[in-house]
Structure 1
Amino acid sequence: MKIRRRTNECPNCGALLDSVYNYCPRCGQENTDNYVSFNMLVSDFFNTFFALDSKFAHTVIPFLFKPGNLTISYVNGKRMSFAHPLRFYLVVSLFFFFIFTLVGKKSIEEDGDEGIIQVNHTVDDVIGLEAEDLATLEATLGAKKLQEIEKQLNGPKLKDLRKALKKNITSTEKEALQIALDSTTAQKLLRFDVMNNEKEVNSTIISPVRVETDSSYKKSSHNATEDIDKITSNENKDFFNVFNEIDWKLIDELRDKRQITDHQVYDSLHMGNITELQEHIIRQIIRVNRADQQQFVEYILKNLPLMMLILIPFFALILKLLYARRDQLYIKHLIHALHLHTFAYFFYGISLLVMVYAISDEDNAAIFGMLSFIVVSTYAYLSFLKVYKQHWFKTLIKFNVTGMIYLSCIFIFFITEIVVSFLLY
């Protein structure tokens, strides 16, 4: 039996105490001047933060096996008998998001650390190439040859396809294409020899009067010309069209070359005259692509608990609107929403553990995941019936409408959260 050394004054609030008092009648602290033991420290923490006391024990059974009963009991005034809905939600959500993050890390480790940019262009991506031209290319060169050309395709432009053709087709295949394609398309795709001849002619005409310069000057002049062309071409472009000009393959190739900084990778793209927002987005693309994938995913996941907590009042508002004619207080819908989310987090957390660590077959894991969804949905539907006491068919309609609207809200919030995380990473 624990021996108390009682005091005449509360160590916490200073209230005068009689020696027979085991606890202070003002603040409730135990009347003892004993040093705090480890067991007392742990017990106080769990009782204060997690409320693991008799309330928790009374809450578990109706929470798990009697959908809706916990909400009705709490709304009807039995608040001292059950755990506080918000505290209960926070404890279970802590468990769920811990499991969710753990599973996310495991999936990333299994998939490997690959960049967000996976470049794999096909001739179907080439802008300005008609379907008839694509069919002609495949019929003339063959599917196998076309696959070899696609491996050399660095972008979705005609000039990218022209360069790939130049590297892979023979003179015979070129002549066949000139015959098969219409003159305009042939001029666009097969003019690399003409361009080379024009360069030779221009070089011959200009060479007698050209002042000899070193190679570095030639290179800088060439780069300056490219930059001027880029600036001119970007001036009148729409916001998203600029991203078609990005050399995605170059970004992917430079991803693991750590001696090259993010700033140098951006400079190598020669994006020209673009807005500050466009520049920031491109720089973030480079940064995220070169970052550790696990760190970026963790950066996104750490904000999910807050996002879901913000969504719960939206869920309660949906319920308030659907049951507006029943004249029920918003707080009732909010408590119901907290209990539903708490059960979903608890059950899905257990399901994730089983799916990832106990089931090795992916098909069986998918089936188990679907069964988990059915269980949670059934629980929620039964809770709707119990709390709102309407006909089963009307409840089913409102339940499905609530689900569709809420899933749309989750999708919008999640996309917004990813975009914001991407821009701020």
Structure 2
Amino acid sequence: MGKEKLRNDATCLNCGEQVQHRFCSYCGQENTETSKNFYHLFVYLFKGFFHYDSAFWRTIVKLFFKPAALTKEYLSGRRVSYLAPIRVYIFTSFLTFLIISLFPSSEPVKSINTKTSQVNEIVSSAIDSLHLEEKSMEGLTKTGILSEQTKDTLQKIIHSELDSVQTAINAKAKASAPSPASIEDESQVTRKADYWFMRKWMKVKEENTDEEIRQKFSDSFTQNMPKALFLFMPVFAFILFLFHDKKRWNYFDHGIFTLHYFSFLLLLTLVLFFIDKLYPLIEYHPILDWIYLLLKGAGILWMIYYFFPAHRRLYEQPYVKSFFKCCAILIINSVLLFLFLVVIALYTYSTIE
């Protein structure tokens, strides 16, 4: 990079100051020719990659094999030799979810002819469902879509729902009885949620097969995962903040550790994903089968175990105390993450069309 031809003009193009050597002493910009041909562009990208690569690989090695070492280096002020934590996370998150999205999540249909009857059933069901709102229960029963027993059951459910709604309305009108009204309100909210879910399901079923629904949900959920993890990281850092000395460790320190830890999880997820995708392409052999199982098992164990040495080395606490803190932190965050993913799943489900 330093062998590029310098400009004859010693005036910096960025700040206008005089450049004494190759780099401007005021803004740091290199005083080289701005006009480049394709060759220079190719060389620039190639050299730029490997120049970036030195810091990148140094960062990745420490992140992957030395738990908390990268965080300690950053917090101690040694930052130039490594990538910034947020850049590491953005890079690993983008690369992981991009590569995962490039691979199909389900097997394509190998034979259409063998499933002709199923296709006909789907088409018939879709045609009927398009006019479902125009048919009454009596009409559906006469055409054979509903049995008499099913019709009676649906009518009972509808009457029960109407009675429940009327009861809730009457309960609201009685100001002297707040507790029963509160119970009815909660019951009504639950019924509305069930009604919304079933209505959404029937609407989606009108235009999609079960396989298409699963595919759309999987694709949309995968697209929402980067945003979900990014939003969950402050929660993870806050739990760390609650479990440690507030005078010694501030929220920023926990945030840096969280960025590195989540970057590691994403990176290892990508490695395990590659192992799963590459293994079927290799010709079967018993030894290779054992190697695959060992690599997969070692990766999963390392993902689970990594947090314990990382926590102990960063916060410098005794083994037993650090172990119990790690267990509590992971359990709390696992529960919160599960609830968070449920919300993301419901949001994903609501966006399916």
> Which bracket does the TM-score occupy, shorter chain normalised?
0.5 to 0.7
Letter in 1 for 2:202: I
Map 1:131-210 onto structure 2 (within 5 A).
Answer: none
Q: Which residue of 2 aligns with 1:108?
A: 106
Aligned partner of 2:12 among 3, 10, 22: 10
For the pair 1:385 / 2:312, whether they are aligned, the reply is yes
1:349 is the counterpart of 2:270: yes
Contact 1:6 1:31 in 2 (8 A): no
- Aligned-pair CA distance for 1:417: 1.4
Task: Specify the SS of the correspondent of 1:302.
Answer: helix
Identify the structure with bigger relative contact order (alpha carbons < 8 Å, sequence gap 6+).
2
Mapping of residues 225-236 of structure 1, within 5 Å: 233-236=157-160
Give matches, 1:79-90, under 5 Å. 79-90=79-90
Partners of 1:382 and 1:71 lie apart in 2 by 13
What is the TM-score of this pair, normalised by structure 2?
A: 0.65
Deviation at 1:308, TM superposition (A): 0.9
Matches within 5 A, 1:305-344: 305-324=226-245, 327-344=248-265
Note the C-alpha offset of 1:78: 1.5
Deviations 1:356-389 (A, max 9, x none): 3126789966664332121123332111111011
Q: Distance in 1 between matches of 2:50 and 2:84?
A: 10
Q: 1:110 to 1:224 in 2, by over 3 A?
A: closer
Using the alignment, how far apart are the partners of 1:344 and 1:111 within structure 2? 33
Tell me, in whole angstroms, the C-alpha distance in 1 between the residues paired with 2:338 and 2:46: 35
CA 1:61–1:424: 2 relative to 1, 3 Å: closer
Counterpart Cα distance in 2 of 1:100 and 1:8: 49
1:29–1:43 distance in 2 versus 1, CA, 3 Å: farther
Compared with structure 1, are the counterparts of its residues 424 and 393 closer, same or farther at alpha carbon in structure 2 (3 Å cutoff)? same
AA aligned to 2:139 is N
What is the CA–CA distance in structure 1 between the aligned matches of 2:136 and 2:213, rounded to whole Å? 35
- The equivalent residue for 2:97 is 97
| Contact 1:4 1:34 survives alignment (8 Å) | no
Where does 1:236-385 land on structure 2 (aligned, <5 Å)?
236-237=160-161, 279-287=199-207, 289=209, 291=212, 293-324=214-245, 327-358=248-279, 368-385=295-312
After superposition, give the CA deviation of every residue in 1:231-278 in whole Å (9 maximum; x if it has no partner): 78525329xxxxxxxxxxxxxxxxxxxxxxxxxxxxxxxxxxx96775
1:20-39 correspondence runs (5 A): 20-38=20-38
Change (3 A) 1:278 1:349: closer
Q: Deviations over 1:49-68 (max 9, x none)?
A: 99825533542443233221
The residue that corresponds to 2:139 in the other structure is: 223
Contact between 2:275 and 2:296, CA under 8 Å: does it hold in 1?
A: no
Question: In 1, Cα distance between the equivalents of 2:346 and 2:5?
Answer: 59
**Residue deviations 1:131-167 (CA, integer Å, cap 9, x gap):** xxxxxxxxxxxxxxxxxxxxxxxxxxxxxxxxxxxxx
Superposed CA deviations along residues 196-224 of structure 1, whole A, max 9, x for unmatched, are xxxxxxxxxxxxxxxxxxxxxxx989439
Deviation sequence 1:65-90 (CA, Å, 0-9, x none): 32212111111112223210010111
Structure 2 counterpart of 1:88, one-letter code:
V
Deviation at 1:337, TM superposition (A): 1.2
Q: Residues of 1 paired with 2:24 and 2:52: CA distance?
A: 22
The aligned length equals 282
Does the CA contact (< 8 Å) of 1:7 and 1:17 recur in 2? no
Seen in structure 2, the aligned counterparts of structure 1 residues 389 and 276 have a Cα distance that, compared at 3 Å, is closer
Q: C-alpha root-mean-square deviation of aligned residues, in Å?
A: 4.0
Aligned-residue offset at 1:341: 1.5
Amino acid aligned to 1:403: L
Secondary structure of 1:63 counterpart: helix
1:73 and 2:67 are equivalent in the alignment: no
Whether contact under 8 Å (1:51, 1:83) holds in the other structure is no
Aligned CA distance change for structure 1 residues 39 and 83 (closer, same or farther; 3 Å) = farther
Residue 110 of structure 1 and its aligned partner are, at CA, apart by: 5.9
Q: Is the 8 A contact 1:89 1:342 kept in 2?
A: yes
* Rounded Cα–Cα distance in structure 2 between residues aligned with 1:46 and 1:407: 42
Give the distance between the partners of 2:258 and 2:50, measured in 1 at CA: 20
- The Cα shift of 1:414 comes to 1.8
Whole-angstrom CA distance in 2 between matches of 1:331 and 1:29: 31
After superposing the two structures, state which structure 1 stretch, 389-398 or 375-384, moved more: 375-384
Decide whether the 8 Å contact of 1:7 with 1:33 is kept in 2.
no
Kept after mapping to 1: 8 A contact 2:5/2:32: no
Contact 1:284 1:422 in 2 (8 A): no
What is the rounded CA distance, in whole Å, between the counterparts of 2:307 and 2:136 in structure 1? 68
Distance 1:222 1:83, change over 3 A: closer
Counterpart of 2:84, as a letter, is H
User: Is contact 2:23-2:30 (8 Å) kept?
Assistant: yes
Q: Distance in 1 between matches of 2:28 and 2:246?
A: 45
- CA shift for structure 1 position 302: 0.9
The 10-residue stretch of structure 1 (30-39 or 343-352) with the greater mean CA deviation from structure 2: 30-39
**Structure 1: stretches of 5+ with no match in the other structure:** 114-218, 239-273
Deviations 1:264-315 (A, max 9, x none): xxxxxxxxxx967753453135445463654442222111111111111111
Task: Pick closer, same or farther for the CA change 1:299–1:43 going to 2, 3 Å.
Answer: farther
